[in-house]
Structure 1
C-alpha cells in the first residue's frame, strides 16, 4: 500500500517521527507498505523545523510545498492548491495527517475531494473553544476523515458522540510519548544552561504563544511581571516563539532572571524541561511531556483539549488572568503540587499500533509504490 504522510509544523514533526520508524520496521518484516513524506512548509524557521528532522532521524521530505502565508487564510489556501497538485502527481491509497495545525485540516480537505481516504492521528481531542484555530482544524478534520487514532478513551468518546462509527475509532495512545521515550537518553544540554549557570531543579521553563496571552501588549507584560515577581528569584528560561517575539520587541526591559532565548531544538528543550523545577506554558503538547516526566506544569489557558494531563498528570489549568499566578506559585513553592500518573497506553508503542491497524485495514489493497 502507498501512504502519504503530511507534516507542517513543530508538533507534527514530533508525531511523525515514531510513525515513520514503525513503518520502516514493518518493511523489514516483508510488509508491503511504502510512504511519501510531504512537508507543507508551514514552519520554516530552522529551530522550529529543520532541527527536528535532523534530531529525530526523520528522513528528508520527498517534497516541501513551501506554503507559508502571511495570514492563516493565505496559508490554508496555499496548502490547498499545492497539496492537490502533489496528490494528482503522486497518487496514494491513504493520506495520514497528525495533530491540529492548518496543514492537518487543509490536506484532509484536499484528499477527501479527490476521494482519497484519510487517517487522523490524535483525533477526537476537544477544547470546545472556538477562538482557537486548532479547534476549528480538529473538528473539520474529524468530520470528514475515515480512520481515527485517539490518545485517550475520552477522545474516542468525543468522536462517537459526534456520530463517528465505532469501528473507525482506534484508541492507540500518544505518539508524542513514543518520541519522548525513544529520545530521552539523547536530550542535549543547551548553551543557556552553562551560560547562565543553571542548576538542576533550580530554574523554571516558560513558553507562551497563544493569542489570548501574547497578542495584547499589556496582557503579556502583566503576565511576565507576575511570573518574575513570584518565582522566588529562580531563573526563568523563556524560549521565545516567533509570534511572541513580535510583541516583546515593543516592550521595555524585564528582570534579569527572566532569561529570554531563541527557540530551542526538540532535544535541547526537553533537556531543559526534564531538569526544571516547574514549567509555565500555554501549549497543549508540553503538558503531555511534563506529565510523562513528572514535572509540575502550570497552564495559562481557560480550557484544555488534554484534560488527562490535569485529571491524571502534573498539569493545573489556571486561566489567563495574571492575578491567578501568585496563589498558584505559592502552592508550588509550598511543596503541595500533585505527583501525577501516566495515562493508559502512553507506553511508547502507539506508533506500532497505528501502523499495524493501517496494514490490516488495507491488507487487500496493497500495491507497489
Structure 2
C-alpha cells in the first residue's frame, strides 16, 4: 500500500482548538507557566491509502498486478506527464463523458490491476462486444509519446499504431484492436475489441488440468511468435507478455491467440536498452536480475519461454527459482520441444535466438 504521511496538531481533549495569539491561548500559557508545566502539543499521523486492485469476477481477462522496479529493486512510479491531445480519434463533441456514454454501454468488470479496471460492454449502434478500460491519470506510468504530430498516452499511441485503419483490424490481428479512447481529465478510457467467447491463457491451462498437450502448446506458441514478430516490426515492446495477457478464442476447433494489455508497452529505438523494469517481477529476464539492464528482443524471447513453461508444467514460473535450479524443465518433453524451451530460457541474453530464428526452429515446423 502506498502511504503518504503528514503530521497535524490534534485538538486538546474537550476544548476547541486555539489560535496562536488569542486571549484564551495566552491565559492557558500563563496558567501552565505558573504550574511549571510547559505547554504540550500532541501530534497525530494521518495516512492516506491508494488502492487500485479489485477482485476479478470473470475469466475472460484476469489482469494481474504489475510492478515497476528500479535497479535497486524498489518499486517506482514515473511522474505524471501532461497529455496534449485529449480527443477521441473521431471526436466531434466537447464533452467526452457524454459522448462515451451515448456510444457505449458498460457492464460487469472483467478484471483489475495496478494500472486500471476493465469492464465488459457493447457498442449501442450495433451491439458489438467491447472491453472498456478505465485508467486513473495517476496510473499512467509511461510518459506520452508523439504519433503523427500529436502527443498521446502511450497505450493509445501503441494501439493506434497496431490498428492500421479503424475497424480494419477488428478480429484480424493478434493484438486486440483499439476502437475509441477518451481523456476525461481525471481518467483515461480506452475502448477495445472484446473477442467472444474467449478466456485468458491462464484460465485455459487450468481448464486443461494444469498443463497442455504438446500439440496444443505448439499451436499457441506458433501464433505467439508470429504476434511478437509483428510487434517487433512495428517497434513495439510489450514488456508484459504472460498467460494473463494472452486471450484464447475458444469458438473454433483451433484456439486463436489474441494479445491484450499494452499499458506497460513502449516504442523501441534502435539499440535502446532499459534500466527500470516494467512488467511482472516473477517473469523478469535474468539480465535484469543480475545487472539491471535488459533489451526488447531477448526479453521478449525469455517471456515467450516462461509462457511455454507454464503451458507444459503444472508449477508456475518464477525467474529466481528457475535460475537457482528450484524449477527444472521436464525431462519427459520431446527432444525438439525441450531444445526450443531451453533456447528461450537461456540465461545469457546473447545466446538466446532472435524471434525470427525461433520461428524457423524445427519444433515449430
Give the structure-2-normalised TM-score: 0.23
Question: Which of the pair is proportionally richer in strand?
Answer: 2
Greater gyration radius: 2
Give the structure-1-normalised TM-score: 0.23
Question: Which of the pair is proportionally richer in helix?
Answer: 1
Q: Which has the higher contact order (CA 8 A, sep 6+)?
A: 1
